Structure formats: C-alpha cells, structure tokens
Amino acid sequence: MQDAMTIETPILAGAPSPFCVPKGCYALTVTDVQHYTDTLFRFRVTRPQEFRFRSGEFVMIGLPNSDKPVFRAYSVASPSWDEELEFYSIKVPDGPLTEHLQKIQPGDTVIMRKKATGTLVNDALLPGKRVWMFATGTGLAPFASLVRDPETYDKFQTIVLVHGCRTVAELKYGEDLVAALKDDPLIGEMVDGKLLHYTTVTREDHPRQGRITDLITSGKLFEDLGLQPMGPEEDRAMICGSMAMLRDTKDLCLDHGMSEGANNKPGEFVVERAFVD
C-alpha cells in the first residue's frame, strides 16, 4: 500500500497539473483501466495505507482538473482487505465527471474524499441463512466488494448475486469477477457452493430474460435457483440500482415480509442507489 499524500500536494503523476489536491482528499494513482463496453469501465488505484472502509461502502471520487473539482459517489468495488481500490463506472455522455474519468490511464491521478460511508454493509443486516444481492447495471459495484469479503461467507450460508442488465456485454464485469473468485487463494474455498450468480438481460437474447422485479414477482427467480421464495426468517437482501429499481425491489422485499435496516438498526434488507447518472 502507498502512503497517503498530504493536502495541498501538487499532482505528481502524468502530465503536470496546475491544480492541487483539495483539503480532505487523497491523491491516488491509477494502476489499471479496463473498458467493457461503450458505456462501462473499471479502474484500480493505489490505496493509502491509512484509508479504512467496510466492504460495500461508497466514497466521493473526482479528478484534479479544476480548482473546484466535480465529485461523484462511487461504491468501492474491491473488498476491504485489498491493497488497491477498484471502481466500476458508467460513462455518461457529457457527464461532468465521467466524460473525463473514462479517459484515465495508468499513472494518472484521481482524487478521493477521505471518508467512506453507506448502508450496503454486513453490519446493517440481521444474521440470516441467505443474502440476496439485487443489482442492476453498475449497481453491481458494492456487491463486487462484498462477494470478495470473507466476512460475508462467515455471516451467510448462501450468497445469491442477482445482476440484471440491458445487454449481455454489460454482464461481463460480474462474470469475470465470479470466475476469478473461484481461483482466489484467499476466498476460493469459501465461495465454492456458497455463491450463486444469477444473471438476466432485458433487451437481448439470453438464457434468462426479464427484469429482476418481474422474476421475483413470478417466482421464476426462486424456481430457477431451486430456493424457497424470500421470507423474513431466513433471507436478507441488499439492493443497488436506479431509483426506479430500488423503489420496486424494496416494495417486493416489504411484500415478502422483510423490514428495512440501517447502520444503527440492522434489519432484513438494505438499499443504496447506484450513484453516477
């Protein structure tokens, strides 16, 4: 891990920049960038040694390209034990941050506010048998962190990662992640048989089609997985996606008799919106 740079530090990596690191921010160096589609990419950055977060939390990310940088909330997609930080991002046409962020290269600098926060954390859920992670689009990011955290496997017998996207290409980040987990020296054995990955697509041909919400309502999701429909005794849920997806999935959790939790009052499900839009 790299030491945190202090405030008012000139940007060192890449081209010289006239801007300084704003107060209360880290300057992080980009180590890796991978583009999946015209609209999706992931990047990894150095992690300051002192920076702590819980798997599933989010931070505020910006670029040192102005004296008043634009910040957006990003879930950390890497687990809390990782020596680097990973983020999974959409590319918004003319988006004030992502139109620039999508062009970053290894060696460039990204800035990050020092505090992580959020409710998609194991602590905000009561103990249970299964945890359902419902994600659409880049809402997968906090779950990319949680499914790589041994704590999740200690807390739950079964982890069901449900990811809905418009197109098959948009599933790739999650598919690569789950495939790599099985060979992971730290967590591979824990994952075996405990992590179920269910993907669905709404605007292209795919073996599983339809919105997550429709698959819950029809019961097809549970039938396909050979599991009982969700209930408050054994099941817990975490939800991350667009505002509409959150609202509709939350309503279904309530219909299934589950109650919403928070950091100060753990419950049967928790919600966080996928931020960058």
The footprint of ligand A2P (CB under 6 A) covers 136-137, 164-166, 202-203, 211-213, 242, 244-245, 248
Task: Give 32's DSSP letter.
Answer: E
CB closer to ligand A2P, 75 vs 152: 75
CB 157, min distance to ligand A2P, A: 26
Nearest to 109 by CA among 35, 46, 38: 46
CB 22, min distance to ligand A2P, A: 30
Give residue 99's Cα distance to chain centre.
20
CB 211, min distance to ligand A2P, A: 4
CB closer to ligand A2P, 112 vs 160: 160
The answer to whether the CB of 221 falls within 8 A of the CB of 214 is no
CB closer to ligand A2P, 195 vs 239: 239
Distances in Å between the alpha carbon of 275 and those of 75, 242, 253?
8, 8, 21
- Interatomic CA distance for residues 255 and 260, integer angstroms: 12
Residue 176 phi/psi, 5-degree rounding, is -60, -40
- Interatomic CA distance for residues 107 and 29, integer angstroms: 6
CB 199, min distance to ligand A2P, A: 11
CB closer to ligand A2P, 194 vs 211: 211
CB closer to ligand A2P, 136 vs 152: 136
- For 45, the token pair is 């950055």
CB 136, min distance to ligand A2P, A: 3
